[in-house]
């Protein structure tokens, strides 16, 4: 019926509205882009009469089409008054007219008397708008613009995916499992077992099929390089990840994470709740010092700060040197884990400047106190920085949390093991492999099922190893 809406406001039927008809109509009158006005009122209230007064006073000069809904209520109230003492007329959403002036018919008549174009009914409101619009076009007040074709999606630009599935592909006309169309699955008669093998085992890590990962013997280190860094790192780098996992896989119950996990498991909570309670304790004092150690050693090395200056600066600030110090081990009783990692890095790596810097810091701190040695967190953190830089990964926000990510695997490994032991003991499922030494539990080689689909196999393994007393 027109060429579009320049501005529109829905006021509603609030008892005390923030704005009224006249407020917006005066604003539209001052807007040169607005060529005509359309007003839709209803039964109740006297706001429409203020509009009539503004038109008579010359405040509103633009052509206006208006209609007040609720004209049928006036006829109905006339019939009801003949049989009962009803003197009010109700409209939409609780609107009501307490007098004849507030009736919709009276307000429509008042608007028409003020020069407003009032249609015969609500159904003809659009026709009235179209009639006024055509008059404005003929008079030249509205210049009709060439209507442009609305834009259509070409499908050339894809929105970034919020969730990515590496198992099923449903983007085409046919569903596919790991690149195998479902029709091919049926034709080849793969059955449920073959489908499961595609869904569960024929995954790919950064484009490398898992079968290729196994055939090439990439191991855990190679898998980590594909999953975390989206590329295959050198053999010495992958071997380092595996070495870290091996030498630091701690299942001891004394640390805060394992302790919280055991307490939660003994309280009868499930495996997930028990593991989460242990993970919440990871911080600077337990398993979380690697990030800060890597950042400190890296920053000091990059700005050419002498190790003695680095130690003096930390002492002046009253800060601990993350990655330095051990409660039990010392220079006279070295940590075998650090010894193995240091020997591997210094003998097999092409370059290790940050690790050398950390060792120089250790040489200074141990002069003051023999237990201020480079601990396992420090050697792993410094070595990771050297690894990233040599492999051109850069020590940025993308990789700076990798030391803790590695240590998180180790903590989860030990925490899950502790939780499984205590959960099984709580359910009276274990008969051996749980030893007591001076009221302290030590757990060795305890199973920790990784996924629900391995549960049955784990049960058979436990039975074969005589870990169960009941099924």
Provide the annotated active-site residues.
92
In sequence order, the β-bridge partners of residue 66 are 39
- The sign of the dihedral angle between the CA atoms of 416, 381, 362, 353 is positive
d(CA 220, CA 226): 10
Q: Are 197 and 207 in contact (CB under 8 A)?
A: no
Catalogue the E-assigned strands of 84-224: 89-90, 96-97, 168-169, 176-177, 180-181, 204-205, 208-209
Distances (CA, A) of 195 to 185, 189, 203: 7, 10, 12
Q: In 102-177, at which residue ranges do the beta strands (DSSP E only) sit?
A: 168-169, 176-177
Q: Given 3-state DSSP classes, what are the helix, strand and coil percentages for the chain, each rounded to the nearest 5? A: 50, 10, 40
Q: What are phi and psi of 67, to 5 degrees?
A: -155, 140
Nearest by Cα to 354 from 309, 302, 280: 302
Compute the distance between CA of residue 265 and CA of residue 267 in angstroms, rounded to an integer: 5
433 contacts 461 by C-beta, under 8 angstroms: no
Q: If DSSP codes are grouped into helix, strand and coil, which group holds residue 253?
A: coil
Cα–Cα distance, 462 to 301 (Å, whole number): 50
Other Cβ atoms within 10 Å of 63 Cβ, number: 17
Residues with Cβ within 8 Å of 43's Cβ and at least 6 positions away in sequence, in order, are 68, 69, 70, 73, 89, 90, 91, 92, 95, 96, 97, 102, 103, 104
Q: Tokens 């990030």 belong to which residue?
A: 291
Q: Calculate helix-pair angle for 235-247, 219-229, nearest 10 degrees.
A: 110
Task: Write down the residue that tokens 């090439």 correspond to.
Answer: 216
What is the token pair recorded at 27?
């604003």
C-beta separation of 225 from 241 below 8 A: yes
């Amino acid at each position: 019926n027109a060429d579009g809406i320049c501005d529109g406001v829905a006021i509603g039927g609030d008892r005390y509205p923030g704005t009224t008809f006249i407020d917006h109509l005066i604003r539209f009158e001052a807007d040169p882009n607005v060529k005509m006005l359309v007003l839709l009122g209803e039964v109740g209230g006297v706001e429409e009469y203020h509009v009539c007064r503004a038109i008579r006073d010359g405040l509103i000069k633009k052509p206006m089409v208006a209609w007040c809904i609720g004209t049928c209520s006036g006829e109905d109230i006339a019939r009801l008054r003949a049989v009962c003492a009803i003197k009010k007329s109700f409209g939409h959403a609780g609107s009501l007219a307490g007098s004849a002036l507030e009736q919709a018919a009276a307000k429509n008549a008042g608007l028409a008397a003020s020069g407003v174009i009032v249609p015969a009914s609500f159904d003809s409101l659009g026709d009235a708008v179209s009639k006024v619009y055509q008059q404005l076009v003929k008079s030249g007040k509205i210049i009709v613009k060439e209507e442009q074709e609305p834009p259509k999606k070409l499908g050339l630009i894809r929105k970034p995916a919020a969730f990515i599935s590496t198992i099923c592909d449903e983007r085409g006309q046919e569903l596919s499992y790991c690149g195998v169309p479902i029709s091919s699955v049926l034709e080849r008669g793969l059955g449920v077992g073959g489908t499961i093998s595609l869904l569960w085992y024929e995954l790919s890590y950064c484009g490398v099929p898992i079968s290729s990962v196994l055939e090439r013997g990439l191991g855990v280190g190679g898998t980590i390089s594909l999953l975390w860094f989206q590329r295959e790192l050198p053999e010495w780098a992958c071997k380092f990840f595996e070495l870290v996992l091996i030498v630091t896989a701690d299942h001891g119950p004394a640390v805060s994470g394992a302790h919280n996990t055991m307490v939660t498991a003994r309280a009868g909570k499930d495996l997930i709740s028990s593991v989460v309670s242990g993970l919440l304790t990871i911080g600077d004092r337990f398993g979380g010092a690697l990030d800060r150690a890597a950042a400190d050693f890296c920053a000091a090395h990059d700005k050419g700060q002498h190790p003695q200056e680095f130690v003096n600066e930390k002492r002046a600030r009253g800060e601990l040197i993350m990655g330095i110090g051990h409660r039990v081990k010392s220079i006279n009783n070295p940590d075998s884990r650090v010894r193995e990692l240091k020997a591997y890095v210094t003998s097999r790596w092409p370059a290790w400047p940050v690790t050398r810097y950390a060792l120089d810091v250790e040489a200074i701190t141990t002069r003051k106190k023999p237990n201020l040695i480079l601990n396992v967190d420090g050697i792993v953190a410094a070595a990771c920085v050297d690894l990233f830089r040599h492999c051109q990964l850069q020590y940025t926000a993308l990789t700076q949390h990798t030391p803790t990510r590695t240590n998180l695997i180790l903590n989860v490994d030990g925490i899950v093991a502790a939780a499984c032991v205590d959960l099984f003991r709580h359910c009276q499922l274990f008969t051996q492999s749980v030893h007591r030494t001076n009221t302290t539990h030590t757990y060795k080689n305890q199973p920790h099922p990784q996924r629900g689909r391995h549960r049955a196999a784990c049960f058979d393994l436990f039975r074969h190893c005589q870990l169960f007393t009941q099924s």
